[in-house]
A = this chain, B = another copy of it.
Amino acid sequence: MIPKTKREVINDDFFIRLGVNIKDLAKLVVENQKPYIPQLTIYEAQESVKHVLDKREVQHAFITAITLDMLAEQGKLDNTPLGLILKDDAPDYGIDEQIAISVAGLYGSIAVSNFGMLDKEKPGIIAKLDYLGKSQRHVTTMVDDLACAVVAGAAARLAHKHQQKHLTIK
């Protein structure tokens, strides 16, 4: 049996199993940056999401998050404190958010602030992931925070890029 690559793990779990698609994430990027980059297209936002998902440290965060969520979902962590925390998405767990904050931090402070807001407001696909996690069928404790971090990072990338174009520092 040929083991899956990192990209295949992310694809099969995050995109296929949970029904997320790049466009859902890109929509949140556009929404987040509309006030600052009115001309931002969904296409450019999608490219930015893909760029973030291609970064090694992001992929490592994802395969870690997916592994933990899946093991909890499959009952393989039952009767352990971590299993209980992951199944309940206990609000004081914190490690899901710490990993996501580190990913956002790769794109600077704007990304970390964006992450905080997305994590609280849960727009669009984030609400769907949160709902799936509450549905008893799925565990999305780790992966919903990471989805916020990817959107936050992709948005911050574009913020930096567009200001670089338009800004002339005297």
Contact = CB atoms under 8 A, between A and B. Distances in A.
B57 A94 contact: yes
B36 A94 contact: no
Interface string A77-97: 101111011000001111101
A82 B109 contact: no
Interface stretch (A23-31, A43-51, A61-69): A61-69
Interface of A is mostly: helix
Most buried by B among A85, A106, A108: A108
Most buried by B among A5, A95, A101: A95
A112 B116 contact: yes
Interface of A: 1-6, 9, 36, 56-57, 60-61, 63-64, 67-68, 71, 76-77, 79-82, 84-85, 91-95, 97-99, 101-102, 105-110, 112-121, 159-160, 163-164, 167, 169-170
